[in-house]
Amino acid sequence: QMPPEFEFTVKAWQLITHEAKSPTYKRLKKKLSETEREEAGYFKPTAIVKQAWETTLACVKALKAKTILFQCPASFKPYKENISNLERFFSGIEREKFNFVWEPRGDWDDKIIKSICEKYDLWHVVDPFTRKTVTPEKCYYRLHGRGGWRYEYEADELEELAALLPKNKPSYVFFNNIRMTEDAVKFQEIIKETA
């Protein structure tokens, strides 16, 4: 049982965002055919990506989530084909009332990211200690840990993080490090003190 103010964010299934050669596929319980392996990921206009979106959407609705995270691997580079697939994907799905948050990783130019985010109303997801978001009015931060996921954030870093959040706008901060629970609790205390 979750408290009434609790909100789920759902990460889009890796069959949408990651190619089958990604090491994360080792945990996949669904056995893919060779064709499905070739057609999975990178927002490709394929049956398996469409099916993965429908499965993701069913989970989102079951959890009454508001936000869907599309986390891309660093191997998803800003090549013409990848951008075309991404744009085709976002223009072809029902948005309903969900926040779509996109975490491009690797070498993406801010101008390209901003253009895509504006065109498809996406929130740009970043770790604010490593990169600035191009959508500061729609703030979704994922903190992976400075120097790796074993990192524990200090109080002064969390105060700095709190200062980055826009005033009177919905913001999300997701700790994705080994001390995620402890860091989130410390961060909540800082937010309460500064409110």
Q: From residue 28, give the alpha-carbon distance in Å to each of 14, 133, 182, 193.
A: 9, 31, 29, 42
Q: Give the pLDDT confidence score for residue 3 in this predicted structure.
A: 86
**Do the beta carbons of residue 67 and residue 172 sit within 8 Å?**
yes
Q: Which residues contact 146 (CB under 8 A, 6 or more apart)?
A: 129, 130
- State both tokens at 35: 């064709």
pLDDT(1) > 90 = no
Q: Is the dihedral of CA 185, 164, 194, 67 positive or negative?
A: negative
Q: Give the pLDDT confidence score for residue 67 in this predicted structure.
A: 97
What one-character DSSP code corresponds to residue 169?
S
- Which pLDDT tens digit goes with each residue over 3-58? 888 899 999 999 999 999 998 898 888 899 999 999 999 999 999 999 999 999 99
- Which pLDDT tens digit goes with each residue over 143-182? 988 878 788 889 999 999 999 998 888 899 999 888 899 9
Q: Residue range 83-102: average pLDDT?
A: 95
- CA dist 100 and 68 (Å) reads 5
**Do the beta carbons of residue 136 and residue 167 sit within 8 Å?**
no
- State both tokens at 70: 């599309």
Q: Give the pLDDT confidence score for residue 85 in this predicted structure.
A: 98
Confidence of residue 96 (pLDDT cuts 50, 70, 90): confident
**Helix or strand (DSSP H, E) at 117:** helix 110-120
- What is the distance of C-alpha 73 from the center of its chain? 11
The mean pLDDT of the chain is 94
State pTM to two decimals. Answer: 0.93
- CA dist 103 and 126 (Å) reads 6
